[in-house]
Each structure stands twice: as C-alpha cells, then as structure tokens.
Structure 1
Amino acid sequence: MEARQEQALLRRAADSEARFQRIIEAKHRSLGEKQTQLQTQVAAAEEALRREKETALELQTEVSLERWELQQNAKSLSNLWPDIEDNSAAVQSAHTKVLELRHEAQEHLQDEKQRLEIASSLYEFYAVVSGIRWDMESEQMEGYIAIGEKARAFKVEKPGSKESADALWAEIEACCGFEPGQS
C-alpha cells in the first residue's frame, strides 16, 4: 500500500516538475514577445529617424536651392546658415534619441532575462535543498517532501504563519530521519 502512495506521490512530483517546466517555457515565450515588442519599437524609432533625415535632406536641398538663388541675386549665404545649423542639429538629436532607445531596450531585455534565470535557479536550489515539491494544480498550499528514499505529503494550513513554517520544517526533518526536537 505504501508503494502505491509513493508511486502516486512520485507521479504527482513528475507532474509538478512538468508544470514548472511549462511555466518557465511560458516565461521564456513572454520574454521573447517582449523582445519582439522592443525590436518593433526600435524599428519604429529607426523609421521615424529615417523620415526625419529625409525631411532634413529635403530642407537642406531647399536651403541649397535658396542659396543658389540668393547667390544669383547676389545675396549672402550667411542669412541661411542658421537654418542649416538648426536642421543639422535636429537630425543629430533624432539620431541620438534612436541610439538611446536602442540601448534602453537592450538593457531592459537583458534585465528581464537575468531575473528569469535567477528565479529559475532559486526555485531549483530551493527544491533540491529542501526536497519540497509543490502541487501546482491544488487550490491549497500543499505538496510533498522527498529526501532520499522517503516521501511525505504536507498541507500548509495557515500560509505565512510561524506554526505552518515550523510544521513544514518538522516534515523536512522527519524525511531526513530526525526525531522531533532533535535538530
């Protein structure tokens, strides 16, 4: 009878592990979607920069034409120079903004990826060290503790309470072969 219970617990453990893997894969997909969104934003910013450059080039062409006309009329180019400088500054400003957006998007993507990796590693470390496996399908906080060849089911009655934490540690100690109060 205990072998069946252990098999059931091990099946539930495998199911919980599979659910956790699906959760991690969903997080990876979400990260990929965020990356795609950020790339779309960068592409839109680059397109805006391209349009601004075209506008600046058109303005520069107009300025050049006006300059030629002014030269033809013996007028000075010095009247047009501030416009050229303004247009050049606008193009440079737009280019700087696109570079900043690209950098921010890359940093955000890297931060998200690092947070996901850390969370995944912490969960794996926690599960290995404590032997705790949570039942992800249960509406309650429950699961089992498997250390060595022992497995014990548990259910957290009052999540967040000291009594519940003590009871959970007692289950872990029991799986390790400690008598209550021995540790």
Structure 2
Amino acid sequence: MLLASKHLNITMGVDIHMVTIPPSPAPVPMPHPFVGIIMDPFDYLPLVGTMVHVNKQKRSNAGTMATLGTVKHIPMGAGFHPGFMPMIAHEGIQFFGSMTVKSDGTFFSGATFNLMTCSCVGIPLGSPEKYLPTTTSIPIPAGLPVMVGGPQVPDIQGIIMKMMMSGALKFLLKKAGKLFKKVKSKLKRGCGC
C-alpha cells in the first residue's frame, strides 16, 4: 500500500534532452533535472475539476499533471538542439494508478510511484512530446495517512481521455479566438471608427 498522491507533492527526477555542445552540430543527449510539484489547474475548475480531497488538498490520479519548478528546463551546454525543441514539453503526467481504487473515474495514484516526464527519447504520449517514467513524487505529510492499495498499473484509458479533453479545449479556444476577432471587426466597422 502506498500513500495517496495529492496536489503540491514534490516531484524529483531526471529528463534526457538533446542539446548542442560546440563545436559539434550534432545533438548530444544530456540529463536535465526535473524538480517541481504535482499541480493540475483543471482540477480547480468548477464542474470540470475534482471534488475528492486528501488531507484538505486536491487528489492526484492517473492523468494529473506535474509542473516544472522553473516553468521551463534550463538547457545545459549551448542550448537545446533546434530539431528537438518541439519535443520538450516541460511537464510531467501521472501515468500509473491503483487498479482497485478509483477517483473521478480514473485510477487513484499512489505517492512515491513514478511519473512520466518529458524527454527527447521515450513513449510518445502527445504529439510530438515524448515521456519516460524517470521522476518520482515525494509525499509531504499533511495529516493522517491516506493509503491506496492494489497494484499500480498504467491507466491508458484515463490518459487518452485527458488528451482528448486537452485537445478539445485547444480546439474550443482556437474557435473562440476566431469568433472574438470577427465580433471585434464587426464592432469596429459598425461604429464608423
């Protein structure tokens, strides 16, 4: 049994990113630290977010995002290789959860279990981003322990649903931006400015 994972748990690990080291123009794989917290802003939205709390903090299950502490990786060497720049997501995602415990329809994650964080080599969970399970979450005690039992397995269905929701949100925001521009241009023409 593992401690239940929740928001604001610390995440620490290593990502592999391709950098340029002069004088060679070829990409060189180099480890970069991933230090951050588990924090998914969608969990705080009404109607969309979660109502499940662990020690007065939002729960984190398979599909919950981890945010890099520096927001973006600080490149080692002369900088990231330009060919691999689109692959750097600067984030992590909880991919594993308990097969027997669910919250909000997806597997409940246990703390101290690996997270998938961005790497230039690994499993393609997004396009074109790739992820590897090279980061672990460190639980911060905040009350009585809440335990999650059962084997920790990948939640493929939960991750696919999370990606579909993310893609749908991007699509809606793009459409809303176009609609806003149309309304703005019509208002501009209507006022005779």
Task: Tell me which protein shows more helix as a share of its residues.
Answer: 1
TM-score, normalization by structure 2: 0.25
Instruction: Point out the structure with max Rg over C-alpha.
Output: 1
TM-score, normalization by structure 1: 0.26
